[in-house]
Amino acid sequence: MGALETLSIMGMPVHSGTHYADWLLLRQQQGLGAQVITLNAEMAMQADRNPQLKHLIQTIELVIPDGAGIVLYFRLKGKRIRRSPGIELAEALLSAPGERTAFFFGAAPGTAEAAARVWQQRCPHLSVVGTQHGYLTPEDADALVEQLQAKQPQLIFVALGVPRQEFWIAEHRHLCPHSIWVGVGGSFDIWAGTKDRAPAWFCEHHLEWLYRLYQEPWRWRRMLALPKFAIRALTYSGYSDST
CATH code, domain carrying 78: 3.40.50.2300
Determine contact, residues 91/64, Cβ cutoff 8 Å. no
pLDDT digits (tens, 9 = 90+) for 97-121: 999 999 999 999 999 999 999 999 9
Within-domain flag for 40: yes
Say if 48 falls within a structural domain: yes
- Residue 200 has a pLDDT of 62
Return the bridge partners of 86, or none. Answer: none
Distances (CA, A) of 163 to 22, 61, 126: 26, 17, 28
pLDDT at 212: 61
d(CA 99, CA 123) in angstroms, rounded, equals 9
Decide if 12 is inside a domain: no
CA distances from 61 to 9, 27, 110, 129, 238 (A): 16, 10, 31, 25, 21
- Note the pLDDT of residue 138: 94
Q: Cα(82)–Cα(192) distance, rounded to whole angstroms? A: 27
Q: Examine residue 158 and state whether it is found in any structural domain, yes or no.
A: yes
Within a domain: residue 126?
yes
Tens of pLDDT, residue by residue over 166-208, are 999 999 999 999 999 999 999 999 999 998 765 665 556 555 6
Residue 104 has a pLDDT of 98
Residue 6 maps to a domain: no
Q: Residue 191 is part of which domain span?
A: 21-235
Low-confidence ranges of the chain (pLDDT < 70): 1-2, 197-228, 230-231, 233-234, 237-243
Name the domain count of the chain.
Answer: 1
13 falls within a domain: no
- What local confidence, expressed as pLDDT, does residue 239 receive? 43
pLDDT on residue 230: 61
Q: Identify whether 14 is part of a domain.
A: no
